[in-house]
Structure 1
Amino acid sequence: MSAILERQRVGGIATSSAESDPDEPAARAFHAAFRGRFTGVLTWRDLDELWQRLCANAGAGWFVYAVGEPVPHAPAAAEAFRRFIAEIDVLLRREHDEDYCGIVYVDDKAAPAFVKIFDPHRPGMQCGFSDNPPLPGRVLSRIPPRPLENGVPVPNSRRRWWRRLWA
């Protein structure tokens, strides 16, 4: 049976889902976590601490998803996850020319399971409330991700960076 794709709005976020998707509970779990409560990582020191926690649990089944790219079907290997953390750290510090971080959000700083990383060039308004909040550029999740439609084209330089990292 062919699935009929439909667009729906989930908490102000356009998503695609199949009408008869057998993974619908997984999709609901991902979107519920995505819309959950997050705390901003405000200082670079706090970001260092978050990276340390993530790297210490690199083999815990982390999915690394770049919005606008196909969703990963398996968690990243521990070494690939640590390499991603090192590379995204360099990118954020180089391109977010501020003395504070403020573009990374985590569900639980002490025991992270979901992290949103916003593009330093298009941070938008991550905090506060909006009917149409901006999407992060990257999502780190222990829950298998589902596609998020950005509507804003991803710059070719970001696509090349992403593809080089996972090549």
Structure 2
Amino acid sequence: MTFTEQFWGSFQGILNWSQLDELWQTMQIQSQAWYLYQPYQPLPQTPLTPNELQQILTELNEFLRKNHPYDYCGIVYANSVQLPSLVKVFHPNHLGASCGSSGEKILPQWIFTQLPPERLELPTTTPSKWQRWWPRWS
């Protein structure tokens, strides 16, 4: 299966913060490396090191909890909770209708994938502030 096929496949929503903690832990103990693809940044050429993954997940976790101050998560999706190989993380302030019911496809801000990512088609309007998010990880 290609990255694009996997990206548009089935996903399970991470409904609460404890499930998100478990997902982050599962990702970190898997032996296969992870790429971080941010659709509004250049494609990553190399996977993250284990230390980079840990640092990014820590910072992202803090960011999500600060900017999505609810007792539920609901903005992270994994293709498998038990053995994830692709995880979509939506920006808390740009959710739209991530299911596509509005007719506009909202891309996740952060995509963790074990397959080398492929360029996704971007919406015609790109939030300019997104182009500045975490540039050191690009």
Deviation per residue, 1:81-101 (Å, 9 max, x gap): 111111110110010121110
- Structure 1 residue 154 displacement after superposition: 3.5
Aligned: 1:127 with 2:99 = yes
Q: Which runs of 5+ in 2 are unaligned?
A: none
The answer for the alignment partner of 2:60 in structure 1 is 88
Aligned: 1:40 with 2:13 = yes
Instruction: Return the match for 1:66 from 38, 48, 55.
Output: 38
Larger fraction in strand: 1
Identity %: 36
Instruction: Return the match for 1:141 from 113, 119, 122.
Output: 113
Deviation per residue, 1:93-148 (Å, 9 max, x gap): 01012111000000000000000000100111223657543111110001110112
2:88/2:108 contact within 8 Å kept:
yes
The answer for the alignment partner of 1:154 in structure 2 is 127
Structure 1 CA distance for aligned equivalents of residues 115 and 104 of structure 2 = 23
Deviation per residue, 1:44-69 (Å, 9 max, x gap): 11101101101112x52211011110
Deviating more after overlay: 73-82 vs 112-121: 73-82
Q: Which runs of 5+ in 1 are unaligned?
A: 1-27
Structure 2 CA distance for aligned equivalents of residues 155 and 82 of structure 1 = 27
Q: Normalized against structure 2, the TM-score is what? A: 0.89
Q: Which amino acid aligns with 1:38?
A: F
Instruction: Return the match for 1:105 from 74, 77, 87.
Output: 77
Q: Normalized against structure 1, the TM-score is what? A: 0.74
Higher RCO (C-alpha under 8 Å, 6+ residues apart):
2
> Highest Rg: 1 or 2?
1
